[in-house]
């Protein structure tokens, strides 16, 4: 008889797909892999194997490309092609311009009261109840590492209303955040929010001293205590508005043309920002007629992630500013139906989620899936 502790350790080292499959072996194995402590330990391990999740969506399906871990082959300028992919029945009628991947969970429905939380690893999604008296909203997914809870924050984008919050779990409902500042979200799509150390950062508009004059601010939402804090933006006006995690600190992208320029929030309490600036070197590596777009920043290798997409393939470039090195990954396997969609509107049907990890968190808690 194999000791239960040993079975636990063996299952913990398996990929999520295998761990899920082995639930059918016995009641013991099923109970082990569905325990909260196992799911939490599995998440901690998989967080060291971050990857870029790529979703190619058509009208009927969604193809998921799982890349090799972001930290693999950091010293090479060219990586093996990524051919591994699988199809799922995609959640329909939802904006895939959702939140970032938060410990493997993604919030879809960025500008809709139809909100879905999605776990691509175990192919589960749950539809949240519609927030009452809300028509045009922006939704953010956050995680509280102390109490191990996920929450969705709902902010209006056109009316100064109290923010709403929903805790993922059975018998939960939307709640009004007490003692919160009434504000609206700017509603930007790309890089519109980020969750770092139990805080969600996003851009908001507040009225100045009770007047009709408005001003843009960075907002911080404490997921555990459900408290809001205003963070004043740097004095420099930004051409781009893009949040990303820079070495565990919130960063705000200002420019991404001939060079990359961004601000890093060094001290949240004192609201002190410092500026970073790197040259953007891609000569001779990409087709000059193809547009490169910044998608984020890797947490583990400290590289900027750029994408270069054609109707035949998807290319990802990882730029390490400290080493001044670039490595390129090609995603193969785009099918005929997907190719037609990509020819017409690439940005609408292809979506990137950097720093994604496998998750066994179940979304079967009574929502409508």
Q: What pTM did the predictor assign?
A: 0.88
Domains contained in the chain, number: 1
Residue 366 falls within a domain, yes or no? no
In this predicted structure, what is the pLDDT of residue 258? Answer: 76
pLDDT band at residue 67, thresholds of 50, 70 and 90?
A: low
pLDDT band at residue 38, thresholds of 50, 70 and 90?
A: very high
Residue 198 falls within a domain, yes or no? yes
In this predicted structure, what is the pLDDT of residue 351? Answer: 82
In this predicted structure, what is the pLDDT of residue 171? Answer: 86
Residue 109 falls within a domain, yes or no? yes
CA–CA separation, 94 vs 220, rounded Å? Answer: 26
CA–CA separation, 102 vs 196, rounded Å? Answer: 9
- Region 49-63: what's the mean pLDDT? 76
| 150 neighbors 168 (Cβ within 8 angstroms) | yes
In this predicted structure, what is the pLDDT of residue 368? Answer: 45
Token pair of 293, please? Answer: 């777009």
Residue 269 falls within a domain, yes or no? yes
In this predicted structure, what is the pLDDT of residue 302? Answer: 87
Residue 266 falls within a domain, yes or no? yes
- Region 301-329: what's the mean pLDDT? 83
Q: Mean pLDDT across the chain, nearest whole number?
A: 80
Token pair of 86, please? Answer: 């699988």
Closest alpha carbon to 292 in 278, 276, 305, 303 = 305
| 64 neighbors 55 (Cβ within 8 angstroms) | yes
CA–CA separation, 213 vs 159, rounded Å? Answer: 14
CA–CA separation, 225 vs 246, rounded Å? Answer: 24
pLDDT tens-place string over residues 218-261: 899 999 999 999 998 887 666 567 888 898 999 988 877 778 88
pLDDT band at residue 369, thresholds of 50, 70 and 90?
A: very low
Token pair of 186, please? Answer: 């700017």
The CATH number given to whatever domain includes residue 339 is 2.120.10
Range of the domain at 164: 35-356
CA end-to-end distance (rounded Å), the chain: 39
Please provide the DSSP assignment of 8-70 as one string.
Answer: HHHHHTS-HHHHHHGGGT-HHHHHHHTSHHHHHHHHHHHTTS-EEEEEEE-SS-EEEEEPPPT
CA–CA separation, 47 vs 50, rounded Å? Answer: 6
For the cut 70, the answer to whether the pLDDT of residue 137 exceeds it is yes
Helix (H) or strand (E) holding 338: helix 336-344
In this predicted structure, what is the pLDDT of residue 343? Answer: 60
For the cut 80, the answer to whether the pLDDT of residue 271 exceeds it is yes
Token pair of 258, please? Answer: 């001939």
Q: Which residue has the higher pLDDT, 314 or 105?
A: 105
Of 207-216, 303-312, 352-361, give the range with the top mean pLDDT: 352-361
At 5, is the secondary structure helix, strand, or coil?
Answer: helix
Burial label for 151, CB within 10 Å (0-12, 13-18, 19+), is: buried
pLDDT tens-place string over residues 166-201: 999 988 899 998 777 788 887 655 557 899 999 999
**What are the backbone dihedrals phi and psi of residue 21, each rounded to the nearest 5 degrees, phi first?**
-65, -35
Residue 87 falls within a domain, yes or no? yes
Residue 117 falls within a domain, yes or no? yes
Residue 330 falls within a domain, yes or no? yes
């Amino acid at each position: 008889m194999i000791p239960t502790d040993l079975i636990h350790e063996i299952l913990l080292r398996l990929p999520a797909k295998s761990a899920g499959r082995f639930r059918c072996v016995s009641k013991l194995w099923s109970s082990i892999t569905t325990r909260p402590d196992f799911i939490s330990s599995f998440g901690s391990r998989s967080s060291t194997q971050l990857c870029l999740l790529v979703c190619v969506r058509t009208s009927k399906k969604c193809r998921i490309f799982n890349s090799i871990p972001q930290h693999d082959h950091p010293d090479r300028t060219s990586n093996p092609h990524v051919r591994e992919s699988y199809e799922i029945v995609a959640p329909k009628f939802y904006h895939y311009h959702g939140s970032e991947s938060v410990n493997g969970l993604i919030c879809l429905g960025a500008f809709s009261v139809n909100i879905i939380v999605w776990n691509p690893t175990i192919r589960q999604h749950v539809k949240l109840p519609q927030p009452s008296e809300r028509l045009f909203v922006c939704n953010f997914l956050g995680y509280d590492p102390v109490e191990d809870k996920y929450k969705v924050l709902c902010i209006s984008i056109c009316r100064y209303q109290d923010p709403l919050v929903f805790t993922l779990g059975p018998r939960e409902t939307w709640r009004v955040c007490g003692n919160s500042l009434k504000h609206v979200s700017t509603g930007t799509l790309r890089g519109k929010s980020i969750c770092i150390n139990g805080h969600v950062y996003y851009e908001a508009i507040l009225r100045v001293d009770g007047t009709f004059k408005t001003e843009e601010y960075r907002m911080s939402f404490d997921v555990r205590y459900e408290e809001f804090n205003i963070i004043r933006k740097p004095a420099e006006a930004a051409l781009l508005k893009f949040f990303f995690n820079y070495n565990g600190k919130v960063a705000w992208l200002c420019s991404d043309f001939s060079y990359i320029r961004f601000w890093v929030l060094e001290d949240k309490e004192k609201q002190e920002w410092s500026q970073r600036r790197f040259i953007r070197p891609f000569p001779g590596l990409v087709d000059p007629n193809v547009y490169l777009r910044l998608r984020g920043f890797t947490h583990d290798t400290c590289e900027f992630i750029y994408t270069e997409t054609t109707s035949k393939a998807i290319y990802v470039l990882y730029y390490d500013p400290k080493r001044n090195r670039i490595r390129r990954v090609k995603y193969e396997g785009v099918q005929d139906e997907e190719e037609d969609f990509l020819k017409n509107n690439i940005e609408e049907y292809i979506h990137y989620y950097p720093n994604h990890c496998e998750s066994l968190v179940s979304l079967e808690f009574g929502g409508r899936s």
